[in-house]
Structure 1
Amino acid sequence: MIEPRRTKELPASLLTDPEMIDACRRRDFTRVFRLVKTRAGIYPSMIARQCYLTPSRVGEVIAAKRQLLNMDVIERIADGLRIPGHMVGLARRPWETPAAPAEAERGTRDSVTRPVEFKAFTGLPGVEVDSVLALAAGGDPSPSTLQSLRTSIEDYWRRDDEHGGETLRPAVIGQLRYVEGLLKDRRPTPIQHGLYGIAAELARLTGWTYFDARQFHQARAYFSEALQLAREIDDHLFMANVLACMSLQATYQDKPGDALALVSAAQDSACAARDTTSRVRAMLAMREAFAHATLGDRRGTHTAIFEAHNQFGNVRPDDPDPAWVTYFDEPKLIVDTGIAHGRLGEAAIAEPLIAEALERENPSNQRGRAFHAFWLARTQLQRGEIDQACQTATEALAWASAVTSERVARHLRELYEQLAPHREASAAVAFEARLREALPVSGQRTPSSIRT
């Protein structure tokens, strides 16, 4: 394989778009090149340079005057544009798995300082980390180094809420591999323990960015890596957090049985931790409610909601909550309660809860506001409030357009499909126009063919 000249990666929203998936599966490079041009801003001359093709040949393909059938050429296109091999019928490409740090020399050390056995995770796209700001070189990490890394993680999460995680991902993965490299050497137990915890959180954050992009296979691989890292230091509480993330992802993959099993494992792991707080228990109970609601289990959902509120009532300001659960505040409890009822079709209960929480939402959390507005619009639609639903959905579009989140975009397209019986209503027509403007779908399609 010729190593291609590197360019920016294709956005996750393009690689997960049904039209791009279909074009790649059919090896229809006329459509592929057109989509790459319009959606990723990679023009024909750049495509030619990246894929070792002549500009005239690329132009002929885009004009549908030439087909590309040679396997060597197809491999060059996949490698040059960083299209995962499976999308074009090829084996996994070498660049799809990030390089794992070399395993440290084994010696006599306690279980906390034992280096983790890093396994290759198949199906992960390559990452461009050259642009990541150089981290401090040399020297042994100190407590202040650990605090600096933790502060950067908090900043990553804040920026993820405000703008989405796609552009953050290369930096996060670069930092993850850097920290894992530090784990090769023997260090004092508190430092080594801290490094494992930081690496676990970076792996979870990476998994979350892939989940938000609806790239579920990659997300699960990084979540599994986070579990592996947390297990090395017996951090049962953080393992519960990761399992809860995996449970939420299973609901998106229409695997409610897996969602329930994963959140049950999360609750078991939390029980094994001696420092589990009421806020953590409340969050896990709400994830259980989501799983039951996805299964259509009304009784199980209501029981889990009751437990979540009961546990949250025991939260105290001086509780030693881990940083990763502080997002689960009262507005989040209220909106998740509304969403769980909404999943069951209990719109009359859900609507006022979601509306209240949306009013209290942090203005900087663009994705959260878009996501919760979608659920409010959905419950309003369930109640036959067509004009109000379209107005709320239009507000959601404004927030969604400010953040890169295929998960939110997919929800809003689904809402448009649910408006099908009311497609002629003026409010629905206006929403469709705003949807096309804010979340454009490539290709010429009739309104009813917008894909979900």
Structure 2
Amino acid sequence: MQENNEGLINAMRESGLTQAELADRVNAELSCAGHEGTVSDRTVRNWLTGRTRWPHPRQREALEAVFGRTAVELGFSPPAGRRGTLNPAEAPVRRRKFFTAASGTTVAVAAPFVGAPPQVGTSDVLRLRQGLDALMALDDTRGGHETLERAALAGASEALAKQKLGATQRIRLRLYSVAADYAATAAWSALDARQCDRAYALLGKALHLAGLAQDPVAKLRIWNSYAMLAHQRGQRTEAIDSAQAALATATTKRDPLFASLAHARTAVSHSNASDRQAAIRSLGFAQEALNKADLQDPRPSWMAFYGPAELTAMTAIVCDRTGDAAEAEAASHKALGAIPEQFRRNRALATARLALAQLHQRDIDQACATASSVFELMNGSPMPGRLRSLLGDYYRDLITLAPDAALAREWGDRYRAEWRRA
């Protein structure tokens, strides 16, 4: 029975490489060595699934150059007769080490290739992607804020500056892709902070860069953000159209997890337009696609938030907005039991939505207790605008449903105090 190559899976996850990107980088290394690059997505898939346990020597050397690790360290196993007799060329290669600064930026230190001409190449792309990973980790905890947005824009500028010096067309495309991801991260930070005009401008820049990069994954990310932004602006039809634009990107045909996210976003957009039947149908498509997805496949760090737990959280939104508060409460509880602890902002959002579902069932005491726990969950950190707005929605519904309740007044005092602190 074949076993997945966990060493290669982990290395790709750490570097943020997709199967297609790894194939391109291995082919680039082969080309630099004077060999024809014939590695495809299917070749990489065979490595990941364990179907190919010991690649061709040239491919092994190229893989070692990409990751700075030996083939054995990448999870490959030589045939039984060859173990212990590896050629000198297959000896351990010098590792690349990456250090993440406390400020959220990333510095990459790569062992230089002696005699190599000074040029922009794969190590620069990898270093910039490591910086993106650090920014996404900061977003998971704190949410969108001005410092994160500035850092992302600086990353986009650096990637574009290096793009002009790219050694090959492939490297230039990869740098455009990195720049698009940085710009999309800046846009997301503005969107999470509910800075709608700035988010709109940044999404336009990101979409332009994604087009130059010919990067369908970045395009899906950007259209997903456009759908969320359209909801913030009250543009319900545009939100649906944007979600469907995400669904139409090429990456949804190749990776069912991306398709699931696009279907789920479409469901939320339909629920905002009070189209319950269309929303439920899209949720069904999202679940079907998720069931087909391999959650262990390497994907960009921005996609780490999405999986069964997030789909359940989005289901709770759809249920509450289509009038099924009891089902929304059940889905919110289920989501909170599964969303990883490091996604603190997402857990806070799911908690606020749980409070809304309880409130919409007239369970005032429990709803206020749940809503108050959002403040403890954020642990004194400034709340991003999207979370503050959601709590504002809760407060408006609270005073509508229980305007004379002492508990409602007490919660309102707490809400205003936390708002001023933020």
The alignment's TM-score, normalised by the length of structure 2, stands at 0.69
| Residues 391 and 427 in structure 1, CA contact (< 8 A), matched pair in contact too | no
Of residues 365, 386, 405 in structure 2, which corresponds to 1:407?
A: 386
The equivalent of 1:153 in structure 2 is 132
The equivalent of 1:428 in structure 2 is 408
- The amino acid of 1:248's aligned partner reads M
Structure 1 segment 332-343 matched on structure 2, within 5 A = 332-343=310-321
Measure the CA separation in 2 of the matches of 1:274 and 1:395: 37
| Residues 328 and 357 in structure 2, CA contact (< 8 A), matched pair in contact too | yes
| Residues 150 and 186 in structure 2, CA contact (< 8 A), matched pair in contact too | no
Q: CA deviation at 1:320?
A: 5.2
Measure the CA separation in 2 of the matches of 1:390 and 1:333: 25
Segment of structure 1 superposing worse, 353-362 or 284-293: 353-362
The equivalent of 1:48 in structure 2 is none
Across the two proteins, how many residue pairs are aligned to each other?
Answer: 310
Measure the CA separation in 2 of the matches of 1:261 and 1:194: 28
| Residues 292 and 298 in structure 1, CA contact (< 8 A), matched pair in contact too | yes
Structure 2 counterpart SS, 1:423? coil
Structure 2 counterpart SS, 1:193? helix
Measure the CA separation in 1 of the matches of 2:224 and 2:263: 10
**Structure 1 pair 143/298, CA: closer, same or farther in 2 (3 Å)?**
same
Structure 2 counterpart SS, 1:440? helix
Measure the CA separation in 2 of the matches of 1:147 and 1:168: 20
Measure the CA separation in 2 of the matches of 1:441 and 1:233: 42
Measure the CA separation in 2 of the matches of 1:279 and 1:352: 24
The equivalent of 1:199 in structure 2 is 179
| Residues 237 and 276 in structure 1, CA contact (< 8 A), matched pair in contact too | no
Structure 2, unpaired ranges of 5+: 1-102, 109-116
| Residues 119 and 165 in structure 2, CA contact (< 8 A), matched pair in contact too | no
| Residues 132 and 170 in structure 1, CA contact (< 8 A), matched pair in contact too | no
The equivalent of 1:181 in structure 2 is 161
Structure 1, unpaired ranges of 5+: 1-130, 443-452
| Residues 174 and 213 in structure 2, CA contact (< 8 A), matched pair in contact too | no
Measure the CA separation in 1 of the matches of 2:326 and 2:106: 53
| Residues 316 and 327 in structure 2, CA contact (< 8 A), matched pair in contact too | yes
| Residues 280 and 321 in structure 1, CA contact (< 8 A), matched pair in contact too | no
- The amino acid of 2:129's aligned partner reads R
Of residues 239, 243, 254 in structure 1, which corresponds to 2:219?
A: 239
Q: CA deviation at 1:276?
A: 2.5
Q: CA deviation at 1:297?
A: 0.3
The equivalent of 2:344 in structure 1 is 366
Please report the RMSD computed on the Cα atoms of aligned residues, expressed in angstroms: 2.5
Measure the CA separation in 2 of the matches of 1:324 and 1:203: 13
Deviations 1:384-420 (A, max 9, x none): 1111100010011223442440111121122111111
The equivalent of 1:328 in structure 2 is 306
Structure 2 counterpart SS, 1:283? helix
The equivalent of 1:70 in structure 2 is none
Q: CA deviation at 1:186?
A: 4.7
Measure the CA separation in 2 of the matches of 1:226 and 1:266: 14
| Residues 173 and 214 in structure 2, CA contact (< 8 A), matched pair in contact too | no
| Residues 366 and 402 in structure 1, CA contact (< 8 A), matched pair in contact too | no
Measure the CA separation in 2 of the matches of 1:212 and 1:388: 27
Structure 2 counterpart SS, 1:360? coil
Q: CA deviation at 1:427?
A: 2.7
Deviations 1:45-98 (A, max 9, x none): xxxxxxxxxxxxxxxxxxxxxxxxxxxxxxxxxxxxxxxxxxxxxxxxxxxxxx
1:168 aligns with 2:148: yes
1:252 aligns with 2:232: yes
Measure the CA separation in 1 of the matches of 2:200 and 2:291: 32
| Residues 257 and 293 in structure 2, CA contact (< 8 A), matched pair in contact too | yes
- The amino acid of 1:162's aligned partner reads T
Measure the CA separation in 2 of the matches of 1:356 and 1:412: 21
The equivalent of 1:293 in structure 2 is 271
1:383 aligns with 2:364: no
Segment of structure 1 superposing worse, 342-351 or 418-427: 418-427
Measure the CA separation in 2 of the matches of 1:250 and 1:414: 17
The equivalent of 2:121 in structure 1 is 142
Q: CA deviation at 1:441?
A: 7.9
**Structure 1 pair 277/321, CA: closer, same or farther in 2 (3 Å)?**
farther
Structure 1 counterpart SS, 2:334? helix
